[in-house]
Amino acid sequence: MATAFSSELQRRSRQRERWRDLSPMRRREAITGLLFISPWIIGVLVFALGPFIASFLLSLTKYNIIQPPEWVGAANYAKILGSDDLFWKSLKNTAVYVGGSVTIRIVLGFLLAMLLNAKVRFLGLWRTLFYVPSVVPIVALSMIWLYVLNGRFGLMNWFLGVFGIARIRWLSDPDFAMLGLLIMSTTWVGVTMIIFLAGLQNIPEEYYEAAKIDGASRMQQMFRITIPLMTPTIYLNVLINIINAFQVFSQVLIMTNGGPRDATRTFVLHIYDNAFSYLPPQMGYASALAWILFMIVFLFTAIIVVTSNRWVFYNN
């Protein structure tokens, strides 16, 4: 420990010496640069790091906003893991949504990117049509999908009726409500498609020409050239979509509010209810839930990042 303290003193001493060795002009430039980035630094400290630390401290308290926080230690976490049935229910629903929506967006986004990477008529129009829904405000999208998935006169049931399939109560039947949200998740496939499209256009055409000379079929080109060289893009899309899917909230609140019978209650909705819907609000408990969600997302992200060197291949 004494050695580490001595090394730290030596490092700081070298930093002070380097600062003294700077010319007056370089010092003024450094100070000016710090002044220019100070709004960003203050913003991070006040609006990001500050609430981050405060939420962890609140997670160790019983706090209902009205009364001062009461220190309870790890009691909130013990209650979450031991007696909160809605926690496990919301965690299960979120896991189903993450697995389903990420799979849909990755597979569908990749297939659409492959189609739109070909030379077809009105290529720009098709790319725009698939991408535009992903930039529509979430409230407007939710209202549109409420009509599409309406159990009585929705467009989805009309389409299924063409094939003789009986009407489905998409958002009012516990067996189909989550499936309805997964169908809605296709709205944002345009973002994934655009990223995949950029990755496809970055693959040198010479690889395909050499494969054709060697007699490789289209399927062999797909699995031996396209997919291996697309793994960095797949890695990026998987990471982004998993993080976003764990935080699904707005469309659930608007379309089902967690129903029917908690079939679509997601983790973030459970946090929201504890923090803002219940009387009195359980802000300390909600903070503990938020930190559990943070650890889950961090764990999944770390696993993907650590294992990426086994399945992500770069051109070099």
Residue showing tokens 């380097």: 18
Q: Would you state the pLDDT for residue 189? A: 92
What pTM does this model have?
Answer: 0.87
Q: Would you state the pLDDT for residue 284? A: 94
Q: Which of 115, 101, 141, 150 is nearest to 159 (CA)?
A: 150
Calculate the alpha carbon distances from 135 to 138, 140, 153, 237, 257 in Å. Answer: 8, 11, 26, 17, 23
Q: Are 253 and 168 a contacting pair, CB within 8 Å?
A: no
Cα distance between residue 255 and residue 177, in whole Å: 10
316 residues of the chain, pLDDT tens digit each: 556 556 656 666 666 666 566 677 777 887 888 899 999 989 988 888 889 999 999 999 999 888 899 999 999 999 999 989 999 999 999 999 999 999 999 999 999 999 888 877 787 888 888 889 888 999 999 999 999 999 888 899 999 988 888 899 999 999 999 999 999 999 999 999 999 999 998 888 898 899 999 888 989 999 899 999 999 999 999 999 999 999 999 999 999 999 899 999 999 999 999 999 888 899 999 999 999 999 999 999 999 999 998 998 886 5
Neighbours of 172 (CB within 10 A): 17
Calculate the alpha carbon distances from 34 to 50, 127, 211 in Å. Answer: 20, 43, 54
Please enumerate in sequence order all residues whose Cβ is within 8 A of that of 262, keeping only pairs 6 or more positions apart, or say none.
86, 89, 90, 93
115-120: long-range contacts (C-beta < 8 A, 24 or more apart)? 116/193, 116/197, 117/197, 117/200, 117/201
Alpha helix segments (H runs only) across the chain: 2-21, 24-44, 50-58, 75-83, 85-116, 123-131, 138-148, 155-162, 177-184, 189-201, 205-213, 218-221, 227-246, 250-255, 267-272, 283-311
Q: Are 79 and 251 a contacting pair, CB within 8 Å?
A: no
- Sign for the pseudo-dihedral over CA of 142, 145, 146, 149: negative
Q: Would you state the pLDDT for residue 290? A: 96
Q: Which of 225, 1, 230, 30 is nearest to 110 (CA)?
A: 230
DSSP symbols for 54-110: HHHHHTTEE--SSSPPEE-TTHHHHHHHHH-HHHHHHHHHHHHHHHHHHHHHHHHHH
Domain chopping of the chain, boundaries: 17-76, 82-311
Cα distance between residue 241 and residue 220, in whole Å: 28
Write down the architecture of domain 82-311 according to CATH.
Orthogonal Bundle (1.10)
